[in-house]
Amino acid sequence: MKLHHNPASPFVRIVRITARELGIEDQVEEIHTGVFLPVEAHAAVVADNPLGRIPALITDHGYVLYDSRVIVEYLVHSAGNLDLLPHEPVARFAILTLQALAQGIADSAVSLRYETALRPENLRWPDWSDRQTARIDNALDTLENDRADELSALNIGTISVAAVLGYLDFRWPDWGWREGRPKLQSFYEDFAARPSMKSTMPE
């Protein structure tokens, strides 16, 4: 398998952590995209993913999978390990919803990064940025107040939460997401110590 990736992407990191937790990282050749800008088509990625987004996984059969949610499910299926995403409906859809919440944080965080770091200052929209920030904080509050009990297990939901919290630390070390969220902070401190997190830390 081959994975188009840039380690700074939280979506990519979800996939890379999953592969390591499944013990199949040696089966995935990681193809570094280099600088990846939202306003430029990356020829190698577009050749495999018409959306031009990462991650994109080329399977051993030559089939291309995207986005990260599809890829991690494929990796779980390929590894024959259902611990990270069981078939049992109640557990499965709780995990998928947790994953979706984390993905939503990542969507807003990456969009906010593009808006504040890459868009020309005279074209920035403060109200839009404020809305992304509010979405992130609302989701973090939900994780702390309503879903903290689900964070004790290792699955694709908790992997996704850990990856996006790491992204907030990476891009916005002064965000202060830990303030008033002791359960979320405790979860992240424990999860960040896992080898899969340490080996995928963006520089």
What pLDDT shows up at residue 139? 98
* Percent of the chain whose predicted confidence (pLDDT) is above 70: 100
Q: What is the pLDDT of residues 183-192, one digit of tens each?
A: 999 999 999 9
User: Exposed/middle/buried for 34, CB within 10 Å: 0-12, 13-18, 19+?
Assistant: exposed
Is the model more confident about 69 or about 118?
69
**Residue 36 in this model has a pLDDT that exceeds 80:** no
Q: What is the pLDDT of residues 104-133, one digit of tens each?
A: 999 999 999 999 988 899 999 999 999 999
Helix (H) or strand (E) holding 96: helix 89-113
CA distance 183 to 140: 11
CA distance 155 to 112: 27
Say if residue 67 is preceded by a cis peptide, omega within 30 of 0.
yes
Fold of 89-194: Glutathione S-transferase Yfyf (Class Pi); Chain A, domain 2 (1.20.1050)
Paired sense of beta strands 2-5 and 29-32, if any: parallel
- The domain spans of the chain are 2-79, 89-194
Q: What is the pLDDT of residues 71-116, one digit of tens each?
A: 999 999 999 989 999 999 999 999 999 999 999 999 999 999 999 9
Paired sense of beta strands 64-65 and 56-58, if any: antiparallel
Note whether 12 and 167 are within 8 A (CB): no
Residue 49: which pLDDT band, with cuts at 50, 70 and 90? very high
CATH of domain 2-79: 3.40.30.10
Note whether 14 and 72 are within 8 A (CB): yes
What pLDDT shows up at residue 178? 98
What pLDDT shows up at residue 37? 79
Q: What is the pLDDT of residues 143-177, one digit of tens each?
A: 999 999 999 999 999 999 999 999 999 999 999 99
Say if residue 55 is preceded by a cis peptide, omega within 30 of 0.
yes
CA distance 97 to 149: 14
Mean pLDDT, the chain, whole residue set? 96
What pLDDT shows up at residue 92? 97
Pick from 14-18, 35-39, 121-125, 166-170: least confident: 35-39
